């Protein structure tokens, strides 16, 4: 169990913890793999969420997964990507979270994932929670905790008998 005082401070960052779907680049699972490679490269991301045409989250596609498929016996060959779609290469065994997930669970899942896709009840992609955004909240909590702690101590001292 996380200390309630700490959890309360972390939750002051709750609204900015999720990067909403409209600010996250994604690919559609039916798209050609070469198209996805161009998109990943241009966006500067190493991993990107994969959606179906109804915005349901279906997996993650990484630059590494694509490059591995380009490696043939004679080195790198982009012709190996022909006829492959995003769905052929994406990872589907992925940790995801609901909008109302517990902070404790989010923090544990983020040990093994750089970000968690956030889904609604119907599996529609709502956004991502990243290690980066969590770290911002942790920095705030670590600093504010000391200040709040001091304030509490000062009140305590002011009320205690001399």
Which residues would be at the binding site for a second copy (CB under 8 A)? 1-7, 34, 37-38, 40-41, 44-47, 62-64, 67-68, 70-71, 75-78, 104, 107-108, 110-112, 114, 131-132, 134-136, 138-139, 142-143, 145-146, 149
Contact 6, 141 (CB under 8 A): yes
In whole angstroms, what is the distance from residue 15 CA to residue 94 CA?
A: 24
Instruction: Output the smallest distance, CB 144 to a second copy, in A.
Output: 9
Residue closer to a second copy by CB (options 51, 134) is 134
Residue closer to a second copy by CB (options 77, 120) is 77
Residue closer to a second copy by CB (options 3, 92) is 3
Instruction: Output the smallest distance, CB 22 to a second copy, in A.
Output: 22
- Token readout for 31 is 């798209």
In whole angstroms, what is the distance from residue 86 CA to residue 84 CA?
A: 7
Residue closer to a second copy by CB (options 53, 73) is 73
Instruction: Output the smallest distance, CB 112 to a second copy, in A.
Output: 8
Quickly count: other Cβ atoms within 10 Å of residue 93's Cβ: 6
Helix (H) / strand (E) element for 42: namely helix 33-43
In whole angstroms, what is the distance from residue 56 CA to residue 145 CA?
A: 39
In whole angstroms, what is the distance from residue 93 CA to residue 45 CA?
A: 20
Instruction: Output the smallest distance, CB 47 to a second copy, in A.
Output: 8
């Amino acid at each position: 169990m996380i200390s309630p005082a700490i959890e309360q401070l972390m939750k002051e960052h709750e609204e900015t913890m999720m990067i909403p779907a409209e600010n996250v680049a994604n690919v559609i699972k039916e798209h050609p793999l070469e198209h996805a490679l161009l998109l990943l490269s241009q966006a500067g991301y190493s991993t990107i969420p994969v959606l179906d045409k109804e915005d349901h989250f279906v997996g993650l596609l990484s630059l590494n997964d694509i490059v591995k498929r380009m490696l043939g016996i004679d080195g790198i060959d982009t012709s190996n990507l022909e006829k492959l779609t995003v769905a052929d290469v994406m990872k589907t065994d992925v940790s995801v979270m609901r909008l109302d997930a517990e902070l404790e669970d989010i923090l544990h899942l983020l040990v093994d994932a750089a970000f968690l896709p956030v889904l609604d009840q119907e599996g529609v992609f709502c956004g991502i929670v990243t290690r980066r955004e969590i770290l911002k909240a942790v920095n705030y909590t670590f600093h504010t905790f000391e200040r709040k702690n001091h304030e509490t101590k000062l009140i305590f001292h002011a009320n205690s008998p001399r």
